Amino acid sequence: MNNIHMRRFRNIPPLQYLMGFEAASRLESFSKAADELGLSQSAISHEIRLLEERIGQPLFIRHGRSIRLTDAGRDYQRSVARSLEQLEAGYKRLEPFRKPGSVVIYAPHDFAARWLLPKLAELKKAVPNCDPWIDTSGAEVDFEEMEVSIAITRAREVNPALIAQTLFEDALVPVASTALMKCEVGSAAELSRFPLIHDERSEGWNDWFESAGVAVGEISTGLDFNNSDLALQAAILGHGVALASLPLVQKLLAEKVLMQPHLHSLKTGHSWFAVSTLKEHSEPTTKDTWDWLIAISSSFDLRPRY
């Protein structure tokens, strides 16, 4: 296996050669690159020469003390700079794992922005040792491969091998800004007269109207977003009526940022779950954070509001 990996990466030169090449090409000077890296000019020149020999072609055109990249050098410089930046970014992402009390909470962007973020002060008060790191990358969570302490997921069911707790059932309700919707509508059918906002959630406006007993035909006109939180933001800005997960908009409804123009809610069959593992629960700060999540969600009022 090791030999296979060695053959796979056999064309990658030593990292110090690449760092010297990147600095020299960016600064257009061997001496300036040497100063930046804390090396002698002869050391940089030697590393560049070895790099060129390894690649099998010149990367710089040398005119006395001045240098400029060859066409091949310019192409290679882009790859090297991008790779070094990715390595640096990867190192920086490791920082939360080195902190005591770091709890990595994976959550979809809309849940993190609308439910979790407003409650971080409460979390810090309840679990002072917790330094939450919120991951909204959207990757499918794999506790074996990823550094995740607690995952929040919207699903019908979760893997029975994991520790899971239902936070609350999901239901979709229409929401709009008070500027767009001066008052509640008399019937669900009246909502079809307003501009509607769509996202890529599996349930949409056709499902909502059907569950409300309204035959309005296929509805596809209006703004479309691939991100449900952007769709919600569009509703806040008065661009139309959006369907939103009721648990995520309760605060906005209570603060009159949004209103619910009709009380009918679409039961999606999904729930919001907190998911973790026995291994993660063995870490006291993670367990305390989990207990806080369960406690605060159990007291959450999901009754519809205007």
Q: What is the per-residue pLDDT across 138-185, written as a single tens digit (0 to 9) for each?
A: 888 888 888 899 999 999 999 999 999 999 999 999 999 988 987 778
Q: Check pLDDT > 50 for residue 249.
A: yes
Considering the domain architecture, whether residues 116 and 251 belong to the same structural domain is answered as: yes
pLDDT of residue 66: 87
Out of 73, 93, 113, a domain closes at 93
Out of 74, 93, 112, a domain closes at 93
Q: What are phi and psi of 272, to 5 degrees?
A: -90, 125
Other C-beta atoms lying within 10 Å of the C-beta of residue 198: 21
Q: Check pLDDT > 90 for residue 102.
A: no
Pair type for strands 60-63 and 66-69: antiparallel
Considering the domain architecture, whether residues 218 and 169 belong to the same structural domain is answered as: yes
Considering the domain architecture, whether residues 192 and 305 belong to the same structural domain is answered as: yes
Considering the domain architecture, whether residues 212 and 88 belong to the same structural domain is answered as: no
Whether the CB-CB separation of 144 and 188 falls below 8 Å is answered with: no
Considering the domain architecture, whether residues 176 and 253 belong to the same structural domain is answered as: yes
Q: State the residue range of the domain holding 61.
A: 2-93
What lies within 8 Å, CB to CB, of 224 at 6+ separation is 197, 198, 199
- Say how far apart CA 26 and CA 68 lie, in whole Å: 10
- Say how far apart CA 174 and CA 193 lie, in whole Å: 13
Considering the domain architecture, whether residues 176 and 235 belong to the same structural domain is answered as: yes
- Say how far apart CA 61 and CA 44 lie, in whole Å: 15
Q: What is the reported pTM?
A: 0.67
Percent of the chain with pLDDT over 90: 70
Q: Check pLDDT > 80 for residue 300.
A: no
Instruction: Give the range among 33-37, 216-220, 225-229 with minimum mean pLDDT.
Output: 216-220
Out of 58, 93, 128, a domain closes at 93
Considering the domain architecture, whether residues 61 and 131 belong to the same structural domain is answered as: no
Considering the domain architecture, whether residues 237 and 150 belong to the same structural domain is answered as: yes
What lies within 8 Å, CB to CB, of 20 at 6+ separation is 33, 37, 39, 43, 44, 47, 48, 51
Rg (the chain; Cα; Å): 27
Considering the domain architecture, whether residues 66 and 199 belong to the same structural domain is answered as: no
Considering the domain architecture, whether residues 42 and 127 belong to the same structural domain is answered as: no
Give me the CATH number covering residue 156: 3.40.190.290
What total number of domains does the chain contain? 2
What mean pLDDT do residues 215-238 have? 89
Considering the domain architecture, whether residues 72 and 136 belong to the same structural domain is answered as: no
Considering the domain architecture, whether residues 164 and 275 belong to the same structural domain is answered as: yes
Give me the CATH number covering residue 12: 1.10.10.10
